[in-house]
Structure 1
């Protein structure tokens, strides 16, 4: 037998004199050609949803228009706590440009748009009267999406708690939040559920308690020494766990309500969306390997374990002790299985190092997990890296540990930090390469049995970024933030994504001066 090499692998070939030789070579070359072809949406399962996303506070603008009242993020930014003192008062101004944005989605070929409903726009006082202008806006947006054949995937709560509830009873720290949130969720189900078939109860409940109540870097800026600075109050050792507990119970309450009153009639699905960092050891020591496993339990298991098994992970029960709230038998029954899908927002693999310390000391989330506190170190390349294989490992983890739930990748994307944030720049090939590499991993994960059902790019447009303000741009479509018109323009990555969705056909950008965006 003769041997040959193909694509770096040794392949046994029959002798050249054999008539089978030609057939085998043809088949092998066809396979190579197939592998070399660009991945397209046709490689994914039928019904797999491709889209892009934003959130209300980050994209809508119109912060004080038509009856909307402040959220805790409005208060935070107006206190000068965001990067460069920026606010989202106008941002991309989708409130006034939603029809243009839906046209961009349609031209791109998106199946779906993930967005959130602003609680302080729809129910400005947190409970009670519905704002008719807010109701009209979301009805108009949803109808425009449906008209263009685009699925609305709606997040009910995406960080923007009405400030009035924070002032009245401390917001999510109080169990009163659960009742008010459930009533607000019902307003959404009742008014939009005839057209919305994909609901997310809460966005990233596994990170909001850290930024808001442990290191105090995000609103409502609660923390305690030595875990945060410039906080007006708080207890980093207990409050993150209380807040997460209330978010979990609020989620379960809304799902129970939806299933009892609306799901059978409206035919939708409901879940929640977690931040999906994947933790790896910083070194090859056994201690760091164990620390990475613990962090995945503290980060993903914090919510996935109760959702699947009815209680917090055993490692958290052991290490946090009585500071971790108890889940009663009735609560456990309500929480377990309270999802039709799990949303995952994935950006980074996080390198963690064991830090068990010496002797008793003050405790917070990271001390409890026994790792170095990464909260104050920023997203440096040493600890936080965008590596596509991490998404595959995360999906394998969900498959093996939590029964392979239906998963939708609700956020995945890459940003840049231009020297001049307002610069109009079409050239973002780095983003196209990023998306292609992650989609390849996602495709392989599905072939290996992952139950992934959708993929959404963050973000449709340049928006106010919670961590960076306007110093980072993630948009497939750019927004000229220097003009009152907030002119949209299509970047190369949007054309790449459109080509992927259309089976490889790419369109060159064509400028239409008479329009407020650059068409495909």
Structure 2
């Protein structure tokens, strides 16, 4: 049970109720002008988390609708932040904030309600309007095709990502998106955090489709020791198929870029023992290499092949060739550091899940070095460490930081100085990484507005802008962090903001 609880802590990735190291010192003294002139700054959300309009204009349910309505979450995304109706107001806010880019996802079940085939004209209208509105305000759309919200119809028909049928259906869905929006969208991300999708949805059962097996979780169906590996395998094949399609049909004309997203921790040996150091390397292979090695070298890490054995699927030669180099960029979601301890055991492979397969425990515990009210170690230099790891291990690929943010209770407070400290310190370390040669091209905060968070509903939020979920109109209010980020993006010395009061006036559209 203790091992399961430790792994549970690891995977509660969206709760970052943390106290940053040295938070009383105020934000770092830097501005946009310190970064390269072509560096992209933005913020992001995802479809189910902000759009709402869950049953409007032909949208069909996704697995997240089913999961939320089953009572596993606090509330649902039925209305969420209502961006479906308020996108013009939000784009105006983005312009006023000074964003270069907005990262959002397309709802597969809104665009293609049956999962395949018929395209919903209302969805085409909405996403075309959103893309055009962004471009009209000088904001680049960075579009994610899949952000956890698989059409429920595909889950019901063939168990979604567990079936190889998903590869063709995802590719056909991507084809629609490239065809309809690619003349204006230049940056595509195929999948958001497939490593988290596999572990939360198919090992512990904390997320849809809620599959797991005893003793790793409490689900009515699933197989924790095997299914995460199958899901990741199909995610990789779907990604490379979509990238291949884009290269064949669209890239020459549209001149766009396509990549994939991975959730990352900065992993640190719990002690300086040889065993913990080696265990940390294994954990890197399992958490990052599991997704990135096939894209970089055409196969899973040798460490995983050795330790997972026959549970780890194999790629054919043609699949391996298609996977290798199937990205123009890698996007990272980084929030915190974690500590790794060696964990030798004699559990048979058939009874081991992902964590047990790597013979290591990844934990927030750090021998008391973290403040007592910190659930996860806040280590801004960890972002620099992650970027150095990608530079040294994977040929310094083009990288976008697509998520970086700080959760706080959704209590209406607008003076989120801890969030400002968090973002500022991470930007400072990002700048150091750039000066050390990292090929990072952009940074996006999570999230632009408060969202329906995919593990905690409306209890915690990351938004630069507060959304009053108790108000039928879902009014937006700028937090201190929104004003700080805006000042940063305009190249101003923003330290004087620390002594100012937040703006309590809601944003109201004048259009």
Same fold (TM over 0.5): yes
Report 1:281-300 matches (<5 A): 281-300=269-288
Given that 1:282 and 1:288 are in contact with CA atoms closer than 8 Å, whether structure 2 keeps it comes out as yes
Given that 2:31 and 2:493 are in contact with CA atoms closer than 8 Å, whether structure 1 keeps it comes out as no
Q: How many pairs does the alignment contain?
A: 471
The question of 1:405 aligning with 2:405 is answered: no
Q: Within 1, Cα distance between the matches of 2:102 and 2:452?
A: 18
Q: TM-score, normalised on structure 1?
A: 0.88
Query: Residue in 1 aligned with 2:37?
Result: 46
Given that 2:60 and 2:151 are in contact with CA atoms closer than 8 Å, whether structure 1 keeps it comes out as yes
Query: Residue in 1 aligned with 2:376?
Result: 384
User: Matched residue of 1:460: which SS?
Assistant: coil
Q: Within 2, Cα distance between the matches of 1:411 and 1:318?
A: 32
Deviation at 1:350? Answer: 1.2
Shift of the 484–37 alpha-carbon distance from structure 1 to 2, 3 Å rule, reads closer
Given that 2:28 and 2:424 are in contact with CA atoms closer than 8 Å, whether structure 1 keeps it comes out as no
User: Matched residue of 1:101: which SS?
Assistant: helix
The question of 1:444 aligning with 2:451 is answered: no
User: Matched residue of 1:504: which SS?
Assistant: coil
Show CA shifts across 1:122-167 (max 9, x none): 0011001011111100000000000000000000000000000000
User: Matched residue of 1:385: which SS?
Assistant: coil
Show CA shifts across 1:33-56 (max 9, x none): xxx982111111121100000000
Query: Residue in 1 aligned with 2:319?
Result: 331
- Equivalent of 2:508 in 505, 513, 516: 516
The question of 1:115 aligning with 2:115 is answered: no
The question of 1:146 aligning with 2:135 is answered: yes
Q: Within 2, Cα distance between the matches of 1:120 and 1:94?
A: 16
Given that 1:479 and 1:487 are in contact with CA atoms closer than 8 Å, whether structure 2 keeps it comes out as yes
Q: What 5-or-longer segments of structure 2 have no aligned partner? A: 1-26, 365-371
Query: Residue in 2 aligned with 1:23?
Result: none
Q: Within 2, Cα distance between the matches of 1:211 and 1:510?
A: 38
- Equivalent of 2:342 in 333, 354, 359: 354
Q: Within 2, Cα distance between the matches of 1:224 and 1:400?
A: 37
Deviation at 1:517? Answer: 6.9
Query: Residue in 2 aligned with 1:128?
Result: 117
Show CA shifts across 1:315-361 (max 9, x none): 00000011100011111110000000000000011112222213536
User: Matched residue of 1:347: which SS?
Assistant: strand
The question of 1:203 aligning with 2:192 is answered: yes
The question of 1:97 aligning with 2:89 is answered: no
Q: Within 2, Cα distance between the matches of 1:153 and 1:58?
A: 16
Given that 2:412 and 2:468 are in contact with CA atoms closer than 8 Å, whether structure 1 keeps it comes out as yes
Deviation at 1:468? Answer: 1.2
Q: Within 1, Cα distance between the matches of 2:169 and 2:28?
A: 52
Q: Within 2, Cα distance between the matches of 1:444 and 1:394?
A: 12
Given that 1:200 and 1:270 are in contact with CA atoms closer than 8 Å, whether structure 2 keeps it comes out as yes
Query: Residue in 2 aligned with 1:309?
Result: 297
Report 1:265-280 matches (<5 A): 265-280=253-268
Deviation at 1:429? Answer: 1.0
Given that 1:55 and 1:158 are in contact with CA atoms closer than 8 Å, whether structure 2 keeps it comes out as yes
Which protein is bigger by CA-based radius of gyration? 1
Query: Residue in 2 aligned with 1:17?
Result: none
Query: Residue in 2 aligned with 1:218?
Result: 207
Given that 1:490 and 1:517 are in contact with CA atoms closer than 8 Å, whether structure 2 keeps it comes out as no
The question of 1:62 aligning with 2:62 is answered: no
Q: What 5-or-longer segments of structure 1 have no aligned partner? A: 1-35
Q: Within 1, Cα distance between the matches of 2:465 and 2:113?
A: 30
Once superposed, what is the RMSD of the aligned Cα atoms?
1.9
- Equivalent of 1:363 in 352, 360, 365: 352
Given that 1:237 and 1:365 are in contact with CA atoms closer than 8 Å, whether structure 2 keeps it comes out as yes
The question of 1:165 aligning with 2:165 is answered: no
Deviation at 1:373? Answer: 6.9
Q: Within 2, Cα distance between the matches of 1:381 and 1:367?
A: 28
Deviation at 1:404? Answer: 0.2
Shift of the 408–359 alpha-carbon distance from structure 1 to 2, 3 Å rule, reads closer
- Equivalent of 2:415 in 427, 430, 444: 427
Q: Within 2, Cα distance between the matches of 1:424 and 1:279?
A: 34
- Equivalent of 1:469 in 457, 460, 483: 457
Higher RCO (C-alpha under 8 Å, 6+ residues apart): 2
